[in-house]
Each structure stands twice: as structure tokens, then as C-alpha cells.
Amino acid sequence: MKQVARGLAAVAIVLTVTACGPRTTTTASNDGVSGILIGAGASSQAAAMQAWMAGFREVAPGATVEYDAIGSGGGRDRFLEGAAMFAGSDAVLTEDEFETSRERCAGDQGVIHLPHYVSPIAVAYHLPSLDGTSLRLSPATIAGIFANTITTWDDPAIAADNPDVDLPGLAINPVHRSDESGTTENFTDYLAKAAPQVWTFGGIKVWDEGPGGGEGADGTSGVVAAVEQGAGSIGYADASQINDLPAAAIGVAGGFVEFSPEAAGRIIDASTRLEGANPYDFQIEVNRTPDTPDIYPISLISYHIVCVEYETPQQAALVRAFMSYIGSPEGQDVAALLAGSAPMSDEIRAEITASVNAIGSIS
């Protein structure tokens, strides 16, 4: 019920923003676009996607977008099977998946990755005895907790990060995603790069490929619910969806940084764009160990994966219109307002716009 209420509130706010916001840039280009656009994928994008769908209805009233937030892996599967026209994913396609996309999409160019959504992954916890006191956690401490080598909240490693906090001697219950998850892949990629001596499992999409243990929960909402319901629990989830749970400040570059859209957004400028399968593919290698303490390192860059070419010009136009809206100043503003995501810089937006414009226009 809470999620439904939030969805209705999101629609109301988006209608207000699109009606009187100062940056409306997409109405003309989307006028006349019609059809039903089916997408599926990352649950991390759920709040932003509600905002985007509501806003797009205002500028393209003849179009309907449906999005099933089943997780990144499930979304990529549906897209590659042809059951969805785009996928939301917190991870890029594997080489095998990309080869499959050449068969799924028209032409032989495969897909384009569009990094439309940048958001912090919060490390949220439930410790009632702290009465809202914020914790600080270093990379090695977080890695130890999720690798099951730090098992109580008064462990010396946690105490060293929080010398002025009276920590309880409570057992730690680390909560992880039970489904294949791009959020898990981003989180464990951070652990592997920021604390490689402790986290030796690399970046993984499925928790069973790593240390095991802890409590598994399905989807972002499942992780948040498990942490909310269990004293001593800690989990990772898109920061826009942790409700009222406190979240740890993360150790970076000799200091500690709390999550915020601004701190997460700086991660793109500190990261590297990779060479993609075609000039319009936009993949980013995230820098998990920035050298300044104002960058939040556990940030996910979530993509929309679309075909370069579709079966019909109408399909291509519909996908292109929705992706254009998402990447517009208006689309980025409503996502920042309702999902706490980091709006793209003008430079990144210009590059992504060129990629969006290529949909249906190269072969």
C-alpha cells in the first residue's frame, strides 16, 4: 500500500513539475508519438521510472509506457527474448548477451547502453539502541560484515570507525539480494576494488557466487523490508528506497562521506568511458577509489539498454522519444526530485543525446 501511495504522489508531483517547470524541452519532438512501450528491469530505477512514465504521458499523450521492475537480470532476459523493447539494468550486457542482442535486434549492430540513472547505493542498518546515531564504516569493515568475518556490532573494526559510539553487542544480520541483481554487482564491485584483501570474491551478480550466509531477500523492496524488520540487520539498496532507515557514511580518501545526489553524481567525472561495440554505445568503468572525500564511491550507474535498430520505424521512434525524454533536463529533474538521483552534467547529456538520436538511424 505504501508503494502504491508513493506512486500516486509521484504522478501528482510530476504533473505539477511538467506543467510549470522552467525546463520543458521535449513536447514538440514527442508530439504525435503513439503506441505501447514495454520495458523491464532494474528495481533500483522503480521510483525514477514512475516519474518518467508520468512525465512522458504529458508530452506524448498518445504513448503508454509499462515497466516491470523485476531486477536487472530478469529485465535483460526479457529484452533479449523480445518480450520487452528496452531493459533497465544496473550492469552492462555480458559478451554472450551482446551477441544474443545481434539476433534479437534488427540489423547487426546490437544494442546501445544509455547511462541515464546515477544513484547512491546506501548501506542501511537497523540498530534501535543507537536512536538515530549515524555510523561510519570503512571499506574493509563493510567487506568484513558481508563476508561474514565481522559478526557483532561491537567488533573492534566497527568500534575503530566509530570511537564515540556506544555499540551494542548484537549479532549482525547481513541482508543481500537473493535474485540476480545489478545492485549486487555494483556493491560487490565496490568491495572488490576498495577492500580486495577482505573481499576476495570479485564483483558478483548472484550472492551464492560469493561468501554465502546472511539473509537473502528478493528485490530492492525485499532487502529494505528485511532490514526494517530485523534488529541488527544491515543491507545495501538504492538510496531512494530505504525509507526511514539510517545509512552509514562511507570511508573514502581518508575521510567519510554520506550519500547524496551530488556526491554520487561526481562519480561519473571521476570515472572512465569505455569503448563500446559502436560509436554510440555508452559504458562507464566506475572509479570505486576516488582520491577526494566528496565523492560517494558506492554509486550505481544504471543503464537503459535499447536496440540500435528495431523492426519498424514506429518502434524505433517510440523508444527514441521516451529515451529522449528521460535524458532531457525535464526528465532528469523529475527523477532527481522524486528518486534522489543525480542529474547528468551538460557534457554527459550531450554525449548521451547523440546516442539516443542514433536509435533507428544507423545500420
pLDDT digits (tens, 9 = 90+) for 298-308: 999 999 999 99
Count CA atoms within 13 Å of residue 100 on its CB side: 12
What's the pLDDT band for 224 if we cut at 50, 70, 90? very high
Report the range of poorest mean pLDDT among 153-157, 192-196, 260-264.
260-264
- Give, for 256, the enclosing helix (H) or strand (E): strand 255-257
Residue spans in the chain of domains classed CATH 3.40.190.10: 35-118+265-284+301-361, 121-261
Distance CA 330, CA 188 (A): 32
Nearest to 15 by CA among 74, 61, 75, 76: 61
Distance CA 132, CA 143 (A): 23
| Cβ 199 vs Cβ 146: under 8 Å | yes
Q: Which CATH number fits domain 35-118+265-284+301-361: 3.50.50.60, 3.40.190.10, 3.20.20.70, 3.40.140.10?
A: 3.40.190.10
Q: Does the pLDDT value for residue 178 go beyond 90?
A: yes
CA distance 356 to 317: 10
CATH topology of domain 121-261: D-Maltodextrin-Binding Protein; domain 2 (3.40.190)
C-alpha cell at 302: 544504471
pLDDT band with cut points at 50, 70 and 90 for residue 27:
very low
Residues 355 and 303 sit within 8 Å (Cβ to Cβ): no
What pLDDT, in 10s, does the model give residues 243-265? 999 999 999 999 999 999 999 98
Q: How far apart are the first and last CA of the chain?
A: 46
| CB of 194 closer than 8 Å to CB of 288 | yes
What average pLDDT does range 306-320 have in this prediction? 97
The residue among 350 and 8 whose pLDDT is bigger is 350
- In the predicted model, what is the mean pLDDT of residues 139-143? 99
Lowest mean pLDDT among 155-169, 228-242, 266-280: 266-280
For position 279, what pLDDT does the model report?
Answer: 86
Query: Predicted confidence band at 345 (pLDDT cuts at 50, 70, 90)?
Result: confident
Which DSSP helix (H) or strand (E) runs through 222? helix 219-229
What is the value of pTM for the model shown?
Answer: 0.80
